[in-house]
């Protein structure tokens, strides 16, 4: 049997600047007490590298649970003084890149897990699952986390060839318009409504667009025509295919009889084949008349 080294160094799961000095445990919670040893930090407002301590404070932060026990970090961390032209004697609380964001009450890895779970399920389902793992969190908190992350995302760069289509926020009640960069295949904007009004506003801000693929709805065609008259409009392949299939279906419905009799071998060998062809033609004419 392989020998397992049981020496688990908890400190290795935390930034080197956060030194663990005590661990306490109750029935359902592990308290990890640590203090900062940092010598500098970056101001979250102006980005200046700061090296002058202004003071320190306690912060309680929740981390990923350990074997079903809630993990709370009791942290003594520094405030740094920022004297830049932008901040002017501002006390900046330190953050730890990739571990703890400015003023956050949860570690980044716990937030990552909550958000990932919410995207795969829903905010409320994510909160329920996490509570079953002894993480203290609500669905509203997860919504706020997702919104915060969304607001920090850099805006998508939009190319000159875009696709426009509608979608339902809630079927038969509210609809939106999505714009996708056709080169990167990434969505670049989600707009309210599908009557073309919001698309016009968006096009006014994106006059570099030269080509738009769209569905058969006239609202988008008019919006593009009005704001970017020189823009090439292309009916997308899906809708061209849909048009073609509609036309083929109509022709087939009109030209092919509703029922077709299959000649049996005895009819053909006994010389009745000619009579059968005649009767099928008559049947076809009758069906065509029935179908209009």
Q: Summarize as ranges the residues that interact with Zn ion (CB under 5 A).
A: 43, 45-46, 82, 84, 87
Q: How far is the CB of 54 from Zn ion (least distance, A)?
A: 12
**Rounded Cα–Cα distance for residues 8 and 158 (Å):** 48
Q: Is 43 or 188 the residue whose CB approaches Zn ion more closely?
A: 43
Q: How far is the CB of 192 from Zn ion (least distance, A)?
A: 37
Q: How far is the CB of 48 from Zn ion (least distance, A)?
A: 5
Indicate the residue among 82 and 219 with the shorter CB distance to Zn ion.
82
Backbone angles phi, psi at 141, to 5 degrees: -60, -40
CB nearer to Zn ion: give 50 or 71: 50
Select 91 or 221, whichever has its Cβ closest to Zn ion.
91
Min dist. Cβ of residue 93 to Zn ion (A): 12
Kindly tell me which of 87 and 143 has the beta carbon lying closer to Zn ion: 87
Min dist. Cβ of residue 53 to Zn ion (A) = 15
Cβ at position 176, least distance to Zn ion in Å = 39
**For residues 54 and 222, which CB has a smaller minimum distance to Zn ion in the complex?**
54
């Amino acid at each position: 049997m392989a020998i397992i080294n049981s020496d688990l160094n908890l400190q290795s799961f935390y930034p080197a600047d956060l030194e663990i000095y005590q661990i306490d445990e109750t029935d359902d919670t592990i308290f990890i007490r640590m203090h900062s040893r940092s010598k500098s930090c970056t101001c979250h407002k102006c980005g200046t590298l700061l090296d002058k301590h202004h003071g320190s404070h306690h912060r309680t932060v929740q981390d990923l649970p350990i074997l079903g026990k809630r993990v709370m970090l009791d942290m003594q961390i520094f405030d740094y003084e920022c004297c830049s032209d932008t901040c002017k004697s501002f006390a900046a609380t330190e953050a730890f890149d990739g571990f703890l964001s400015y003023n956050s009450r949860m570690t980044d890895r716990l937030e990552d897990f909550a958000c990932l779970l919410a995207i795969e399920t829903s905010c409320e389902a994510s909160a329920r699952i996490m509570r079953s793992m002894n993480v203290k969190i609500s669905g509203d908190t997860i919504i706020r986390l997702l919104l915060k992350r969304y607001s920090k995302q850099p805006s998508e760069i939009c190319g000159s060839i875009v696709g426009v289509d509608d979608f339902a926020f809630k079927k038969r009640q509210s609809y939106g318009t999505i714009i996708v960069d056709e080169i990167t295949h990434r969505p670049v904007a989600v707009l309210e409504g599908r009557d073309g009004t919001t698309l016009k506003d968006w096009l006014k801000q994106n006059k570099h667009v030269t080509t738009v693929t769209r569905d058969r709805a006239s609202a988008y065609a008019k919006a593009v025509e009005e704001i970017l008259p020189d823009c090439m409009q292309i009916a997308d392949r899906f809708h061209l295919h849909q048009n073609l299939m509609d036309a083929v279906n109509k022709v087939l419905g009109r030209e092919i009889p509703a029922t077709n009799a299959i000649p049996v071998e005895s009819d053909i060998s006994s010389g009745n084949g000619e009579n059968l062809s005649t009767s099928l033609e008559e049947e076809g004419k009758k069906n065509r008349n029935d179908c209009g």
